[in-house]
Structure 1
């Protein structure tokens, strides 16, 4: 019964969709063949240019004269789009949303077309209006109320707001992206122009007088160029007509572009701990009484669901608290795992995570989110015994475990490190913590970093490390690489050094 009802609804939607598509195409045809001289009161049968006949004249005249003028082309497109969505069985919510935004932009366009007619009546040479009555009335009202400049500013603001609402694109992000692309293009053009300037200009037959002017270094350069072309016969005097050299220094030459002198590395001092924020005392810290009370509530709730168990240990952490529950004999672990959603509701928690069993223990871990999250300070982790006792210069202070203990990882034991997450999940904070860990642990002679930041948002503050831990190509004129072209060049230079 339900299936036949769904089929009936689907057929009805297809029929409505076909009707809307047909109507939209007919309206579009009437607008495409619209002749402003053809008006409802001035029609001669047999001499109508509109391909839809008398109906087309009425439809086109109504849309162009009484509504929004030339931007009325959006209306049949919206009707056709809605019909296509119904025919394909797509959700009408998203289609309706886009249709409304298109109609709003069409009204804005109508107002803009009406402004010249309102500001300077008779300035247009057309015998008809492009804007329609709606656009003209709104433009006249705005012009009387706000003047020319005010009307333009308000229109721009309304267009920007509607654009943000329709596309979900931030104008600040759009401007930032545009500036980054522009800077990348400028940087690429500069790098190409430098390469062109560095190419040697070779003549067909160098004369003896010119060769005498060369010093020994210049002779070595010319010999290297000739060897690079595979010409081992030095006595041959073949004219070298065309020769283009890409400035890609092989081997040590590429590495030399990355090597620099440090600012007195012998007197380098590690950054003081005072630069980091000191942990503040918490007023809302969870007490032992609350932990024991929650443990008792957890036992009672488990018993209500037919699971008998005893909380044997509690591990409070900065974000969650783990309660270790030892189930009674005969209780299946799968039974406890299946109660995650029920326990979240019973404990009034956003979510419950069950670790069954805890590795190395005969207990099940039930993790509940804390009422108030604890702020984890980088200073705590860097001053911890785990970080200070680590011999690796790539020890990373990443935070705390679920039990509240400092967590330190060694980057040299990882093949790669990828930081990923949703917006606002802490990727930038994690990256800054990693860089700070290196600064507090490694000497500049031990660790060198190349930073690439195409967005120009995260790593620009570290450009002052150029005399210490930050390595860069001096010919690229930027310590933190922001151009994709420069990033490729830097990585190639780094690859040659590592090989």
Structure 2
């Protein structure tokens, strides 16, 4: 008995994962055996097995069954006859391959539905190839029918009877489209890819020709240099021979003179002086030869040297030196590094199957970079120095930092120059440079210099792909990373929205505000899983955020019963904001019960299993609320809109609710003091006046921006000038299509309903339809002396809406008091005895 129970316990203890592994191995073995039978097919086997009897099959002696050539024996002969002869010939080998892959996926515990498209493609390819082979077998009888099978030949004959010679054209078209679908299901994308390959091959061939031509020219130059050096050497040898001949004549004359006269010291001195002269002449010849060789070597470098000399000469014209600095930008990541990281991140979150958008959905920037116009920089330098010298302001040096939109000229003034004096000449400099917008920073924060920002004559467009595909963005560990664009130093400017914690955006019409909001949303979509992020989109203009309706089931949070996922009505906007405040209060209750201080610690504790889901705890995603036009809401609702925004801005950071509020009219009646006080992070595009700039930034400067994404950002400290990254409407559509075509959540993320606890006067008498959990809820409320919806949710394991209705019924029954905002209702019943009396009275009332 013990042995039996032990064996039964062992079998019962096999886990589901181990059972799936066993099933996977069996399925892979089945596919392998079927493949073996097809590969070892022999036409004579089926004739032989027809003559076999049952007795011969099970005979111990050597019988006719041993003459079967199939590797799987009699069963293999039957299987191979069916697959090879009856179906699609040797092409039927695709079937056991598909079966093997199904077994592998079962063994590895992967999702089977991933094989649906490959299975359909494999079966279609098998039928198509068999039909093409059957067509040639029928028409020309080139090879045996075992390559196409009876099914392939039959299909080809039916097609020939219907379409005649056009059948091969139809089959060829099917074959081409099938091959294109193998590369990419999107045929247009495949055609574009083939065109790209053709273009790459042509460019490679042209580069090879250019390199070959360049090498020929280099060899030609080397030969010319060698010929020139040879001429120089021959000329030097001729001169040396002439010197040797003259030396021999001189020596002969000296020997004659020595014979006819007595030796004196003076001729020796003359002889030595002649040797020194000859040696000096030879030294001069060697120097001349060395200079000629250097000239030959520097022929290719002569244009560059001339340019450098010209540049130095031009710079020497002025007393003040200028140094030009162009930022190299952040290091680009590998083409697929962001996609690989997102794939790994998607595998770590098992709640829903989700694929992050790929970097290929964004447009690639052109290859040419921002060309530095030295002439423009020198002209601006001359104008600035000339204008300041006229007012007796001495500048010691200038540094020019070239950005994508503007160039920052850093001036180092003399010690006795007042900074305010330079700032007072802003309009004079603006007129002299004929610039659209000129901004002076006196001084530059963190530097002992005065900055003058002058717009570039030719602006560079910063593409979002060049910003997102950098190591700085790919390797960031921010919770809510936002890469706005590039600074003057050509560095990617990136912030974490969860630390800001809210963002106020202002800008005139056409200044790039909508593109900036699209950039914010796109950055978050590329780095955040839908389990960890939800959007609440409020768009009174009704068209700006309509592109994001497609991601409703993945990323959008709405109130129950909402007609549209994006809020466009003012009354709905007010209701949504009040619902968000209720969501905030509920989250604070959860954080209090979990004994943590912020959403990150709470989610970590919940994921580790330290918080019980049955008690109402749940994974809390971040909620980013985007309001595209605050001015319209303030005009129609006023204080009713301002109060929930102020509450959320003051308290919602710790529970993961963050606001991004935008307006095109930054006046004091829209951006009120209450709102400004709770939005330390502000982003200003081009505005109409200095008053608007001071309203949004508390200082001037935004009125001197030049539009098209040129903006100033502050987070309570200094100002940073940024060129907003550009993302087109077509790119946003491709990203939302990619996400929207995926399977989303069965239940959308819904915010709590606020109207059900508004006031006692608005609530109808619910005693006519009392909930079945009414008595249990009343006992829980009295026992804990706390009249809150979240308590009923945790204890009764019900949803928020039902718990709210029960609270309303308890209020009408006199168990709890009226609604008191974020605090729990007062409990009017002190103990269970009083509650029993109250319930008895209710029963008599119903009778």
Distance in 2, matches of 1:397 and 1:164, equals: 40
Kindly indicate whether the alpha-carbon contact (under 8 Å) linking 2:702 and 2:711 is maintained by their aligned counterparts in 1: no
Task: Give the match for residue 199 of structure 2.
Answer: 180
1:86 aligns with 2:397: no
TM-score, normalised to structure 2, is: 0.32
DSSP-derived class of the 2:30 partner: helix
Kindly indicate whether the alpha-carbon contact (under 8 Å) linking 2:33 and 2:72 is maintained by their aligned counterparts in 1: yes
Distance in 2, matches of 1:24 and 1:392, equals: 72
> Residues 131, 385 of structure 1: CA spacing in aligned structure 2 closer, same or farther, 3 A cutoff?
farther
Give 1:85 deviation, angstroms: 0.9
Give 1:362 deviation, angstroms: 5.3
Distance in 2, matches of 1:106 and 1:159, equals: 14
Kindly indicate whether the alpha-carbon contact (under 8 Å) linking 2:84 and 2:92 is maintained by their aligned counterparts in 1: yes
Kindly indicate whether the alpha-carbon contact (under 8 Å) linking 2:232 and 2:289 is maintained by their aligned counterparts in 1: no
Task: Give the match for residue 643 of structure 2.
Answer: 326
Task: Give the match for residue 122 of structure 2.
Answer: 102
Distance in 2, matches of 1:248 and 1:140, equals: 76
User: After superposition, where does 1:327-366 map in structure 2 within 5 Å?
Assistant: 333-334=650-651, 353=659, 361=674
DSSP-derived class of the 2:165 partner: helix
DSSP-derived class of the 1:193 partner: helix
Give 1:130 deviation, angstroms: 1.1
Give 1:97 deviation, angstroms: 3.0
Distance in 1, matches of 2:642 and 2:101, equals: 58
DSSP-derived class of the 2:44 partner: coil
Kindly indicate whether the alpha-carbon contact (under 8 Å) linking 2:36 and 2:72 is maintained by their aligned counterparts in 1: yes
Distance in 1, matches of 2:642 and 2:80, equals: 76
User: After superposition, where does 1:137-152 map in structure 2 within 5 Å?
Assistant: 137-152=154-169
Distance in 2, matches of 1:320 and 1:161, equals: 54
Distance in 1, matches of 2:302 and 2:101, equals: 54
Distance in 2, matches of 1:328 and 1:207, equals: 83
Kindly indicate whether the alpha-carbon contact (under 8 Å) linking 1:17 and 1:87 is maintained by their aligned counterparts in 2: yes
> Residues 385, 47 of structure 1: CA spacing in aligned structure 2 closer, same or farther, 3 A cutoff?
farther
Q: Which moved more, 1:193-202 or 1:155-164?
A: 155-164
1:317 aligns with 2:616: no
Kindly indicate whether the alpha-carbon contact (under 8 Å) linking 1:327 and 1:364 is maintained by their aligned counterparts in 2: no
DSSP-derived class of the 1:90 partner: coil
1:18 aligns with 2:39: no
Give 5+ residue unaligned stretches, structure 1. 213-231, 263-269, 272-277, 279-283, 308-313, 341-351, 367-380, 399-406, 429-499
Structure with bigger helix share is 2
Distance in 2, matches of 1:191 and 1:7, equals: 68
- Work out which of the residue numbers 159, 170, 181 in structure 2 matches 1:164: 181
Deviations, residues 391-444 of structure 1 (Å, cap 9, x unaligned):
99994512xxxxxxxx6469x97688765799722899xxxxxxxxxxxxxxxx
Distance in 2, matches of 1:324 and 1:145, equals: 71
Deviations, residues 321-363 of structure 1 (Å, cap 9, x unaligned):
68853369999954698697xxxxxxxxxxx9577xx997358
Task: Give the match for residue 732 of structure 2.
Answer: 425
Give 1:192 deviation, angstroms: 1.1
Distance in 2, matches of 1:98 and 1:420, equals: 34
1:206 aligns with 2:517: no
DSSP-derived class of the 1:89 partner: coil
Deviations, residues 37-86 of structure 1 (Å, cap 9, x unaligned):
33312355333332222222222221111111121121111111111111
Kindly indicate whether the alpha-carbon contact (under 8 Å) linking 2:27 and 2:102 is maintained by their aligned counterparts in 1: yes
1:31 aligns with 2:38: yes
Task: Give the match for residue 42 of structure 1.
Answer: 48
Q: Which moved more, 1:62-71 or 1:246-255?
A: 246-255
Distance in 2, matches of 1:421 and 1:5, equals: 59
Task: Give the match for residue 317 of structure 2.
Answer: none
Structure with larger Rg: 2
TM-score, normalised to structure 1, is: 0.50
Kindly indicate whether the alpha-carbon contact (under 8 Å) linking 1:395 and 1:409 is maintained by their aligned counterparts in 2: no
- Work out which of the residue numbers 115, 140, 143 in structure 1 matches 2:135: 115
1:397 aligns with 2:708: yes
Kindly indicate whether the alpha-carbon contact (under 8 Å) linking 2:20 and 2:107 is maintained by their aligned counterparts in 1: yes
> Residues 360, 49 of structure 1: CA spacing in aligned structure 2 closer, same or farther, 3 A cutoff?
farther
Distance in 2, matches of 1:178 and 1:186, equals: 12
Kindly indicate whether the alpha-carbon contact (under 8 Å) linking 1:17 and 1:83 is maintained by their aligned counterparts in 2: yes
Give 1:299 deviation, angstroms: 7.3
1:136 aligns with 2:153: yes
Kindly indicate whether the alpha-carbon contact (under 8 Å) linking 1:74 and 1:103 is maintained by their aligned counterparts in 2: yes
Distance in 2, matches of 1:101 and 1:139, equals: 20
Distance in 2, matches of 1:192 and 1:61, equals: 60
Give 1:199 deviation, angstroms: 1.0
Aligned residues: 339
> Residues 395, 206 of structure 1: CA spacing in aligned structure 2 closer, same or farther, 3 A cutoff?
same
> Residues 316, 178 of structure 1: CA spacing in aligned structure 2 closer, same or farther, 3 A cutoff?
closer
Kindly indicate whether the alpha-carbon contact (under 8 Å) linking 1:50 and 1:56 is maintained by their aligned counterparts in 2: yes
User: After superposition, where does 1:465-476 map in structure 2 within 5 Å?
Assistant: none
Distance in 2, matches of 1:26 and 1:337, equals: 60
Give 5+ residue unaligned stretches, structure 2. 1-10, 50-63, 234-285, 312-370, 376-435, 437-456, 458-509, 511-539, 543-567, 586-625, 635-639, 662-670, 680-684, 691-699, 714-718, 736-847
Kindly indicate whether the alpha-carbon contact (under 8 Å) linking 1:82 and 1:95 is maintained by their aligned counterparts in 2: yes
Give 1:195 deviation, angstroms: 1.1
RMSD: 6.0
Deviations, residues 216-265 of structure 1 (Å, cap 9, x unaligned):
xxxxxxxxxxxxxxxx97648xx9xxx9x999986667999x999x9xxx
Distance in 2, matches of 1:252 and 1:66, equals: 82
Task: Give the match for residue 447 of structure 1.
Answer: none
Kindly indicate whether the alpha-carbon contact (under 8 Å) linking 2:37 and 2:72 is maintained by their aligned counterparts in 1: yes
Distance in 2, matches of 1:197 and 1:416, equals: 45
